[in-house]
Structure 1
Amino acid sequence: MQLSIRHETSYSYTAPQAYSIQQLHLTPRAEAHQHVLNWHLSTVGQIHGYTDAYGNLSHMLTINAPHSGLAIIAQGLVETTTPPGGRIPNGDTLSPLIYTVPTRLTAATPGILELAAAALPDGKAQTRQLMQLAEHIFGAVTYITGSTEVSTTAGSALAQGSGVCQDHAHIFLACCHARGIPARYVSGYIDPGNTSHAASHAWVDAWVEDGGYSGWISIDVTHARLMDDSYCRLAIGRDYDAAAPVRGMRRGGGGETMSVQVRIVPQ
């Protein structure tokens, strides 16, 4: 499948800003099941490309002049295929064990520990067990837009019983980490089809031991299904903080309003 993607993030400020810096994970990863046919980032200021610690194609944007707004547009065409069984080739130079370390967003709470112990064995898991965990989270945490914030932890979202895709992903990661199973956060896009879920999306990769296969599989916890060709992967990391599409800070007074518009059209 070919996905035509346009992602615009806009900031407006009530007072001019003296300085802004933004870390961008807005360029699709180069992986066996997806190929970037064309891609372009458009914004003001100085932009510097680099590869981060997780192998993500990243950019650092700096604006060192007074500004009252900022628009960042990422757009292009990506060709995707469905990885059989959701299996993602392990081309990483990092050990999967780095993805067993909890973060602030994926720290275990009593509720997380209880769910993890009930759903997963200790140290390794098969695809069917991980899918059962995804199905449980899907049923226990209702998708409600705006019910959480980017700073909401896995334990808080589980206790609340509602959240969005990043909360589903964080709960899944927290359960895996509690059992010593490597799992990592994925940010990207999904062709929403006729669903109401946002085209900007988050899901997970988890390490499985399935007979003759040991490696990553990619699971969309929000839809309790394996990743297919309707997904485009931007970045991986330990949690949202490591893989967020846009994350930064500014220097200046006043308030800030942010809006995000994502359009995905399958070709």
Structure 2
Amino acid sequence: MATFYIKHITKFSYSNNVIDGANLIRLYPINDQYQKVNSHFISVTNNPFVESFNDFYNNRVGTFLITEQHDELTITSDVEVVTYDKLFPEDTIDLKTQWEELKTKKYDADIIDFIKPTPFSGSEDILNLIASKNLYEKTPTKVVLELCEYVYNNFNYIKGVTDVDSTIDDVWKLKAGVCQDFTNILLQMVKMCGIPARYVSGYICPAEDNTRGLGATHAWIEAYIPFYGWFGVDPTNNAIANENHVRLAVGRNYADCSPVKGVFKRKVDSDLFVKVEISSTKNKESYELPPNTFSDSKTHNSYQQNLDRIQHQQQQLHQNQQQQQQ
């Protein structure tokens, strides 16, 4: 058992005022037998009413609308959560029975969305890998662990070479990325073995000095193991997802689990700042947010500047027409 205090700050800075910002947040840690949320406070710029509901995958989701003009949006989530270690799959049931059980589960309502792999250019490479490792002659648990180790050893953890829009093809060619990319590759490989798998977003709490994924939200997979249930493995750290992994949401991919997404009116430039601080003790020190990077809005293209430019052009055109008439 472990207790963690998590502060998750998301700040959007805009080059000019925006209005009617509609936002959706998945910042509510899952509450079940492996996680207990002792307290949770969410604060948002302009203090809008946050309405919450459970989505299709039973994740808690919050929505809010900011109608007033604003050039910054800050969302702060403060959580105290207790986690409990999961039992490792015993893996004592014979091989054939486990694989047959997986076949009977593929049409279950809570499984069906997590079976089909995504078509991509590396499929043949993965099929060859599966054959070379004789994975079908091993239990599903061993398959998942071997593939997790393969991704960890054959992909380089490098920040900045990919983004949220990078495809599996991009990551497969680069053989590099961050936790989201490692997770997407492992999801693909596990599904191609016939094992259901789902994307998990959350936080990784420091266990060792070389833990990857600290300071931001983290991602890993959960594979469905027969006669056990969902088994979490973290390919970024080649680890079993245990009491140091705090789950926020599960889904088919990042889009189902993204912590914050939203839209607003007016055409502006924007910057995003994200900071996650995790501690095993309460920290009452306030965190100083960076200033709006667009504080000198005259140097940036924005909706208002475009409007001013159009008006100026129209005035000049009108003046030219009057001069020609004279």
Query: TM-score higher than 0.5 here?
Result: yes
Contact in 2 for aligned 1:189/1:232 (Cα 8 Å) = yes
User: How far apart are residue 146 of structure 1 and its match?
Assistant: 1.2
Structure 2 counterpart of 1:242, from 242, 246, 256: 256
Structure 1 match to 2:110: 95
Q: 1:72-126 CA distances to partner (integer Å, 9 max, x unpaired)?
A: 0001210001101179xxxxx9421211134xxxx2323144225523857x952
User: Does 2:188 correspond to 1:187?
Assistant: no
Question: Partners in 1 of 2:259 and 2:36 — Cα distance?
Answer: 19
Structure 1 match to 2:80: 77
Question: Partners in 1 of 2:180 and 2:89 — Cα distance?
Answer: 19
Contact in 1 for aligned 2:147/2:190 (Cα 8 Å) = no
User: How far apart are residue 174 of structure 1 and its match?
Assistant: 1.5
Question: Partners in 1 of 2:165 and 2:41 — Cα distance?
Answer: 29
Structure 2 match to 1:22: 23
Q: 1:1-57 CA distances to partner (integer Å, 9 max, x unpaired)?
A: 000000000011001112212211101011211100111111133321000000001
User: Does 2:43 correspond to 1:42?
Assistant: yes
Structure 1 match to 2:322: none
The structure carrying a bigger strand percent of its residues is 1
Equivalent position SS for 1:180: coil
User: Does 2:162 correspond to 1:148?
Assistant: yes
Change (3 A) 1:86 1:192: farther
Structure 2 counterpart of 1:64, from 64, 67, 73: 67
Equivalent position SS for 1:46: coil
Percent sequence identity is 28
User: How far apart are residue 163 of structure 1 and its match?
Assistant: 0.3
Change (3 A) 1:24 1:40: same
Equivalent position SS for 2:243: coil
Q: 1:205-253 CA distances to partner (integer Å, 9 max, x unpaired)?
A: 00123xxx34210011111111111111000000001101112222212
C-alpha root-mean-square deviation of aligned residues, in Å?
A: 2.0
Structure 2 match to 1:90: none
TM-score by structure 1 length? 0.89
Question: Partners in 1 of 2:55 and 2:155 — Cα distance?
Answer: 32
Structure 2 counterpart of 1:201, from 214, 218, 224: 218
Structure 2 match to 1:139: 153
Equivalent position SS for 2:160: coil
Structural mapping, 1:98-137, within 5 Å: 98-102=113-117, 107-119=118-130, 121=135, 126-137=140-151
Unaligned runs of 5+ in 2: 91-107, 282-326
**How many residues are aligned here?**
254
Structure 2 counterpart of 1:173, from 187, 192, 195: 187
Equivalent position SS for 2:122: helix
Question: Partners in 2 of 1:149 and 1:159 — Cα distance?
Answer: 15
Question: Partners in 2 of 1:262 and 1:237 — Cα distance?
Answer: 22
Question: Partners in 1 of 2:162 and 2:265 — Cα distance?
Answer: 26
Change (3 A) 1:192 1:112: farther
TM-score by structure 2 length? 0.73
Structure 1 match to 2:274: 260
Bigger mean CA deviation after superposition, 145-154 or 1-10 = 145-154
Q: 1:176-214 CA distances to partner (integer Å, 9 max, x unpaired)?
A: 2333321000000011342353242100100123xxx34
The structure carrying a bigger helix percent of its residues is 2
Unaligned runs of 5+ in 1: 88-92
